[in-house]
């Protein structure tokens, strides 16, 4: 596969996943309940590796309806989070069209991936999230770096031609 083709393929996949990340913010109540049902069913939290995550998800599931009723403005923050993800995904359209000219978007995304890990490591414990949550939140940053590095290398190949 030629560098330009690989760049476009990876960016299309990356952009679609980024858009989905933004869209999944909106049905948060349904998502949390679904994750609990899929992974644990009706079981009470046990003592396994993900038990702290299960406990926190149950706490979140129970809190969301209360927040929605008593403090609905909190969900407005969720709306803006989803909006931010969608807007950032649009940035990649320029890279798909002209990777060399818009390589700064890939560099920006790489920095963002690194910052995701740093922010998760700092703020998850401050907000009372179990340490396993850091792994979940950091996964986007960790796995996002892989295609972005490949894309950046392919852009450099195109630049050197």
Q: Quick one: pLDDT at residue 99?
A: 95
Q: How far apart are CA 49 and CA 111, in angstroms?
A: 30
User: For residue 52, which of 129, 139, 135 has the smallest C-alpha distance?
Assistant: 129
**CA-to-CA separations, 125 to 57, 78, 87, in angstroms, rounded:** 15, 20, 28
Band of the pLDDT at 124, cuts 50, 70, 90?
Answer: very high
pTM equals 0.82
Band of the pLDDT at 147, cuts 50, 70, 90?
Answer: very high
Using one digit for the tens of pLDDT, what is the confidence trace for 57-104? 999 999 999 999 999 999 999 899 999 999 999 999 999 999 999 999
pLDDT average, residue stretch 116-129: 93
Band of the pLDDT at 161, cuts 50, 70, 90?
Answer: confident
Domain count, the chain: 1
pLDDT at 122 over 90: yes
pLDDT at 151 over 90: yes
Q: What share of the chain is helix, strand, coil (3-state, %, to 5)?
A: 80, 0, 20
Band of the pLDDT at 47, cuts 50, 70, 90?
Answer: confident
Band of the pLDDT at 18, cuts 50, 70, 90?
Answer: confident
Domain of 8, in residue numbers: 3-159
Using one digit for the tens of pLDDT, what is the confidence trace for 104-115? 999 999 999 999
Alpha helices, H only, 24-72: 28-40, 51-70
Question: How far apart are the two ends of the chain, measured CA to CA in Å?
Answer: 16
């Amino acid at each position: 596969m030629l560098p330009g083709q690989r760049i476009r393929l990876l960016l299309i996949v990356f952009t679609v996943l980024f858009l989905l990340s933004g869209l999944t913010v909106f049905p948060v109540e349904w998502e949390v309940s679904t994750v609990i049902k899929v992974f644990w069913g009706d079981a009470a939290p046990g003592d396994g590796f993900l038990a702290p995550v299960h406990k926190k998800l149950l706490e979140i599931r129970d809190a969301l309806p209360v927040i929605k009723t008593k403090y609905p403005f909190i969900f407005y923050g969720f709306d803006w989070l989803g909006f931010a993800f969608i807007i950032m995904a649009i940035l990649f359209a320029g890279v798909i069209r002209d990777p060399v000219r818009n390589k700064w978007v890939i560099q920006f995304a790489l920095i963002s991936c690194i910052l995701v890990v740093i922010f998760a490591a700092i703020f998850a414990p401050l907000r009372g999230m179990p340490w396993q949550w850091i792994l979940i939140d950091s996964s986007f940053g960790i796995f996002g770096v892989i295609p972005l590095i490949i894309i950046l290398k392919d852009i450099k190949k195109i630049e050197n031609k």
